[in-house]
Every structure is written in C-alpha cells, then in structure tokens.
C-alpha cells in the first residue's frame, strides 16, 4: 500500500533541513572565537620563547663572567710584579714552576688582561694558563663588556695599610679612603668591575653587573 503524500513530503523536508550549512552569523561567531583562541596560543608561545631566550642569555653571561674571573684571580694570586697597569689593562709577571715565589726561570711569563671599551671585549694576551711555555696569543674571554655606569675604570688597585694605632702583629686593614695604590710598587690588591649586556632580537636585554672581591698578589 502506498504511503500518504503528506508523509513523503515531511520526510523530504527533514532530510533537506539536516543537510543545511551554517548560517552567516554562525560562521562569524565561530571565526571570532577561533581568532581569540589562536591569539592566546600565539601570545603564550611567544612569551615562553622570550623567557627561554632570556634565561639562556643570563646563564651564558654568568658562566663566562665566573670562568674569566676565576682565571684572572688565579694568575693575580701567583703574580710577583705588576709591570704596567691602568684602568683598562694590567700586566702581571708570573713566576716559574719552581718553589721560588719570584722565579724567573723556564716557565715564567707575563700576561696582560685588557678591557677593550671600543669592541667591548675582555682579552688575555699570554701563553695558555696550563702551558706556560706555550705560544703567546690573544684570546677573547668575554664579549659585550661595558663599564658600570658611574665608574670610569674596569680595574682598581689597592695597597695594604698597616694601622699605626694598633699593637704590632695584628695584620693589615682596608681603609677605603687611604689605600688606593698610585704606583706599581704599592699594588697589593686588584679589584675588577664591569657590566655584561647581551641583546637578542625581540627580547629584552640581559644585563649582569660584576663586582669582584679584591684579589691579593700573594707573591708580591
């Protein structure tokens, strides 16, 4: 028996309705929500990328500063003389490998540390620290070096000041107003200070202010 015409017409209308696409309003709403979500995801990705880049920059300049200061302090403590010095450069005389604190035999050498304010690098000129008889060469220890704002020099030199108002045998004291060395003979302590600045595209500059302790020339 044939179905009524009204039932056939109703079924066709239901099938047509089920195949109908999105309306313009629905498309616009969906596109807007997708844009907002995508913008949020991209902002998060960019933020994570910049944070990671900053962490890498800070870690790198911190490691380089620490390594360079350790090497510098090692040779300062060994040095028995300071032939030349200035606010940007210092030359140290290192004794030989014998027990003499001022030995000038095989293995003795001079080394010069220089802060190049034009190229913004700290360089070392001398034989390898672990091979005193090796070839003298200039190596860059740190890049992106700048003087600390308000300071005209990278290197400062101090002498020991023996107190006269205390009994003898109580050692030396630091007098910040009176112990600045003015001649190489007076130099007993060296202090290093500088600013490291590392910049990357689209990332805020990473800066690290380095102020060392006063390294003592034990053999001088």
pLDDT tens, position by position, 125-184? 999 988 999 999 999 998 888 888 888 789 999 887 655 555 554 445 554 456 788 888
- Within a domain: 14: no
Q: What is the pLDDT of the chain when averaged over all its residues? A: 80
- 57, pLDDT greater than 80: no
The phi, psi pair for 95, rounded to 5°, reads -70, 170
> Mean of the pLDDT values across residues 190-208?
79
Does residue 206 form part of some domain? yes
Domain that holds residue 110: 40-216
Q: Give domain status of residue 130, yes or no.
A: yes
Q: Locate 210 and state its tokens.
A: 């380095």
Q: Is 11 a member of any domain?
A: no
Tell whether the model's pLDDT for residue 193 goes beyond 80.
yes
Give residue 175's pLDDT.
Answer: 47
pLDDT digits 0-9 by tens, 66-114: 888 999 999 999 999 999 999 999 999 999 988 788 888 888 999 999 9
Does residue 45 have a pLDDT over 90? no
Residue 92 in contact with residue 34, Cβ under 8 Å?
no
Separation of alpha carbons 28 and 26, rounded Å: 5
In a domain, 189, yes or no: yes
d(CA 14, CA 16): 5
Determine, yes or no, domain membership for 75.
Answer: yes
pLDDT given at position 14 = 58
Could you tell me how many residues make up the chain? 220
Q: What is the pTM of this model?
A: 0.71
pLDDT attached to residue 176: 45
Are 192 and 154 within 8 A, CB to CB? yes
- Number of domains the chain contains: 1
For residue 19, give the DSSP letter.
Answer: T
- 207: phi then psi, degrees, rounded to nearest 5: -125, 150
Q: Is residue 196 part of a domain?
A: yes
Q: Cβ(124)–Cβ(111) under 8 Å?
A: yes
Is residue 4 domain-resident?
no
Pairwise CA distance, residues 151 & 187, whole Å = 20
């Amino acid at each position: 028996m044939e179905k009524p015409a009204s039932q056939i017409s109703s079924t066709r209308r239901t099938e047509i309705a089920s195949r109908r696409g999105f309306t313009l309003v629905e498309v616009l709403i969906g596109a807007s929500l997708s844009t907002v979500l995508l913008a949020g995801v991209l902002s998060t990705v960019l933020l994570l990328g910049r944070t990671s880049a900053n962490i890498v920059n800070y870690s790198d300049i911190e490691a380089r500063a620490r390594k360079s200061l350790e090497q510098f302090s090692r040779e300062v403590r060994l040095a028995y003389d300071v032939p030349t010095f200035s606010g940007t450069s210092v030359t140290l005389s290192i004794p030989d490998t014998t027990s003499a604190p001022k030995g000038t035999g095989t293995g003795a050498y001079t080394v010069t540390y220089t802060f190049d304010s034009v190229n913004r690098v700290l360089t070392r000129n001398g034989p390898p620290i672990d091979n005193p008889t090796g070839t003298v060469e200039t190596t860059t220890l740190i890049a992106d070096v700048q003087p600390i704002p308000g300071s005209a020099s990278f290197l400062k030199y101090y002498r020991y000041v023996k107190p006269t108002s205390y009994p003898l045998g109580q050692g030396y004291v630091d007098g910040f107003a009176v112990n600045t060395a003015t001649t190489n003979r007076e130099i007993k302590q060296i202090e290093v200070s500088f600013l490291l600045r590392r910049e990357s595209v689209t990332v805020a500059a990473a800066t690290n202010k380095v102020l060392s302790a006063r390294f003592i020339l034990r053999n001088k």
